[in-house]
Each structure stands twice: as C-alpha cells, then as structure tokens.
Amino acid sequence: MSLAQLTGRGVRVAMIDSGVNPAHPHVGGVAGGVAIGAAGESSVFLDYLGHGTAVAGAIREKAPAVELYAVKVFDRALRTSMDRICRAVEWALATGVDIVNLSLGTLNPAHRAAWEELVERAAAAGAVIVAPRDADGRDSLPGCIEGVVPVGLDWECPRESYRCRVSDGRPLFLASGYPRPVPGLPRDRNLSGISFAVANMTGFTALARQACDHPAGLVDSLARDAAR
C-alpha cells in the first residue's frame, strides 16, 4: 500500500521538544504529554517558543490521524540537559509510543553507551527513534546509532516527499527542512532547519508504521517506498 493512502491512524508519536500549543489549528489537539524539568515532571507542557508546536504541525500534516504526545524538555530557550532528554525518552517508552521524534542530538561521544541502551530499549518495546544523523559532518547521537531512523537535511526535497541514499552502509533519509507553511508569513521568516527535516520524516515514518506488520522492518519499508 502506498504511504499516500495512509493517515497514521493508531500510531502514537512522542515529540521531545519545547512542548506544544494543542489549540493551534495545525496541531488539532494532543493525546497527552508531560514537562520534564530539574524539579521533576509536570502536566503543564505549553509551548512558549513555538518550536514544538511547529514540529507537531509538520507531523500532523503528513499523518493527520496520529496520536501526538508532547514531551517538553525546553522551556524559554532551546537548551536542555542530557539527563532530561533521556528521561523524556524513558517517559515516551513507558507511555507506549511507537515513534519518538527527537529533533536534536549530541556530538559528545561520552553519551554513546547511554544512547545505545535507550535505542535497544526502544526496539524491545516496539518503538523507533527518528533523529538527525549528523551535525556539521560529525556523528550526532542517537541518530548515528543503528536502529534509529537517521535523517539528513535536503533543502531541495519537496515537503510532500522524502529521499533515501546509502551512507556508511545504512539508509539515510533526506527530507525538507521547512515546516508547514503559515498563511501570511514568508517562508524565509518562518522556522526552518534539521528539526523540521526530522519532523517531516517522522510523519512519513508514522505512515509506514501504520502499514508495517513488525517495527523491525520499518527502515527497510521506508527505503523501499522512497525508491518508488
């Protein structure tokens, strides 16, 4: 079945980001969420930056029927800690999501072992993480770990499609770095970048997950569909 015929129905997606504004027309509501801070967890996951809301809108555009979960790790700036990100992934897996949208990464190789453990736990739970493959030509964790859906930025790729090429013997998925357009706002004044390539690819991954009998075959399924 072509991805164009699917909606992401029944697929649960966690967005680890700056929270979300559920009332935004591009979001259409969320199934739940959490804010993870230094003092612990909170049910107040409202987005003060707009970044997570734009990520949610891009995912919803591609997969309108997915169940979205906001996992807030950024508050008033796009800065957080490795500990909060790991706790966010753990929360998402405990909630039973199918896909974790992680529009960020770390270049610090000291965190590799912790990320490898989280990727293994995600696979055991039947979930997959979608994340950037690299940053400025350097390996980015967890996107460079096998088992993650690795994403690269392709400014020329149409927003309604994605591309696939082989990098280091593994598929690398290339998607547009532009979010969903905002009426009346010029594209060059809107947010853009690898975060939205990941979000766009998460939407496509949700469609593939709906059609995939077993999550272990998800990357191969995405690669085959890109080649059509």
> What does the alpha-carbon distance between residue 57 and residue 35 come to, in Å, rounded to a whole number?
19
In the block, residue with structure tokens 């559920």: 22
Burial of 201 (0-12, 13-18, 19+ CB in 10 A): buried
pLDDT tens sequence across 166-202: 988 899 999 999 999 988 888 888 999 999 999 999 9
pLDDT of residue 119: 97
Q: Top-level CATH class of 9-226?
A: alpha beta
DSSP class per residue in 10-77? T-EEEEEES---TTSTTT---SEEEEEETTEEES----SSSHHHHHHHHHHHH-TTPEEEEEE--SSS
53-86: buried (b, 16+ CB within 10 Å) or exposed (e) per residue? bbbbbbbbbbbeebbbbbbbbbbeeeebeeebbb
Do residues 34 and 71 lie in contact, with contact meaning Cβ atoms separated by under 8 Å? Answer: yes
Q: pTM of the predicted model, to two decimals?
A: 0.95
* Percent of the chain predicted with pLDDT > 90: 80
Residue range 92-106: average pLDDT? Answer: 96
Do residues 32 and 88 lie in contact, with contact meaning Cβ atoms separated by under 8 Å? Answer: no
pLDDT of residue 207: 96
pLDDT of residue 227: 57
pLDDT of residue 228: 53
Type of residue numbered 42: S
pLDDT tens sequence across 13-62: 999 999 999 999 999 999 999 999 888 899 999 999 999 999 999 999 99
The domain spans of the chain are 9-226
Residue range 98-109: average pLDDT? Answer: 95
Report which of 206, 75, 186 is spatially closest to residue 130, judged by C-alpha positions. Answer: 206
How many residues in total does the chain contain? 228
Q: How far apart are the first and last CA of the chain?
A: 12
> What does the alpha-carbon distance between residue 148 and residue 205 come to, in Å, rounded to a whole number?
11
- DSSP strands (E only) in 49-180: 67-72, 99-102, 128-132, 134-135, 138-139, 149-153, 163-167, 170-175
Do residues 56 and 20 lie in contact, with contact meaning Cβ atoms separated by under 8 Å? Answer: yes
Residue range 105-117: average pLDDT? Answer: 95
- Would you call 219 helix, strand, or coil by DSSP? helix
pLDDT of residue 1: 56
pLDDT at position 105 over 60 = yes
pLDDT at position 215 over 80 = no
Least confident piece of the model among 146-150, 193-197, 214-218: 214-218
